[in-house]
Structure 1
Amino acid sequence: MKKILLTIVLWIGIGAALCPATAQEGEYRTAVKILMDKSGSLSAADTMMDQMIPALSKMAPQQIPASFWTGFRQKWEAKSRERLVDIYAPIYRKYFTLDEIREMIAFYETPVGQKLSSSLPAITREGFVAGQQLGEEIAAEMIRELQQL
């Protein structure tokens, strides 16, 4: 009987010791989710789905009905956001404290932070196009130089 009581007390003690860490991890994950939402990172998941679904649906348009893609997108819309937070929270944890995450959230709540958040998708799209053009320039120059060998 004493062994059983000792085991129960030990397990309760371990559980109590782990609770603050678990609560802090939940608070940290929540803060990262807020940050990702305010910074526009989570809306990137929607953009990704907006680009991916039409590309995939063109691969077999006759075999896969449009209703499948609509349902699939709806299913993954919320799921992908949660998965992104699950993926990024431990990464953020390596580099930022909870207080630093809170400071970033506060920044994104300012007018300039909101402007940055709303402008980032366009900046990213334009940067991607410019990056492609730069890549084409580099490739063309490389081909010219290789032809001179």
Structure 2
Amino acid sequence: MSSLFSVIPGLVPGIHTTRRLDGLIRGSSPRVTKKILLALVASVALAPMAHADTAPPALTTDQMQLAMQVVQAIGIQQVADSAVDGLKIVLVQSLAANSKQTPEKVEPIVDAVLMPDIRASEPQFVATVATLYGQAFTVPEMQQILAFYQTPVGQKLQGITPALTHQMVEAGHAWIGQIGEQVLRLDADKLTAQGLKVD
């Protein structure tokens, strides 16, 4: 699998089936959901190109090791695990819909064929996040972050971060779906007057 996002456009036609899942892409029609996902995928793909000429200097080995400790302390691995679990649901539902098969039949295939590559890419994601932290914070600042996560409230924050992240993603999906349909419906005449077609 060359890229995680390379599989999404091909799965988008069936992605509306995830509306049955708790909170995933809630409130949006299949057509709007498809357009939103394609736009998001395009923005992610183009983002590195937009900043390629302003890349910050590489981290030293010590900076990277400290940054890895920081992201592990804040629970990035758990966030990555939750994201992968959510992606698996989308992949199973989408492939099942596109293939006219039951999710129960598709899930073992996804587990055997796709999930090993996806889970193998998690360390790369964690390292990417660590690099971002290492570039954003000085060594003393990262040491202070680590010290905070050793306090009781820091431990609590670490424990609830995956659940909070999941809830925020659900809220974001619901908001995007609702506002996308709402503005298209309310402003359809204005868009048509500007020569834009609204399906």
Matched, 1:33 2:75: no
Alignment partner of 2:60: what SS? helix
Ranges of 4+ aligned residues in structure 1 off by more than 4 Å: 60-65
- Provide the C-alpha distance between the structure 2 equivalents of 1:73 and 1:57, rounded to a whole number of angstroms: 11
The answer to whether the 8 A contact 1:40-1:118 is kept is: yes
Give the number of the structure whose residues are more often helix, by fraction.
1
Alpha-carbon deviation of 1:74? 5.3
Q: Aligned pair in 2 of structure 1 residues 139, 101: CA closer, same or farther (>3 Å)?
A: same
Alpha-carbon deviation of 1:76? 5.0
Opposite residue 90 of structure 1, the aligned amino acid is T
Q: Aligned pair in 2 of structure 1 residues 69, 36: CA closer, same or farther (>3 Å)?
A: same
Instruction: Give the root-mean-square deviation of aligned CA atoms.
Output: 3.4
Q: Which has the larger radius of gyration?
A: 1
Q: Aligned pair in 2 of structure 1 residues 104, 52: CA closer, same or farther (>3 Å)?
A: same
- Provide the C-alpha distance between the structure 2 equivalents of 1:132 and 1:27, rounded to a whole number of angstroms: 38
Question: How far does the alpha carbon of each residue in 1:37-86 deviate from its partner, in whole angstroms, 9 at most, with x for none?
Answer: 11111211111221223432451679978276258645654x43421233
Equivalent residue runs for 1:1-149 within 5 Å: 25-58=60-93, 59=95, 66=108, 69-70=111-112, 73=115, 77=119, 79-135=120-176, 136-137=178-179, 139-140=181-182, 143-146=185-188
Opposite residue 34 of structure 1, the aligned amino acid is Q
- Provide the C-alpha distance between the structure 2 equivalents of 1:137 and 1:119, rounded to a whole number of angstroms: 28
Gaps of 5+ in 1: 1-21
Q: TM-score under structure 1 normalisation?
A: 0.63
How many pairs align? 126
Q: Provide the identity percentage.
A: 21
Question: How far does the alpha carbon of each residue in 1:111-140 deviate from its partner, in whole angstroms, 9 at most, with x for none?
Answer: 111111212222222223333343314642
Alpha-carbon deviation of 1:142? 5.1
Gaps of 5+ in 2: 1-57, 194-199
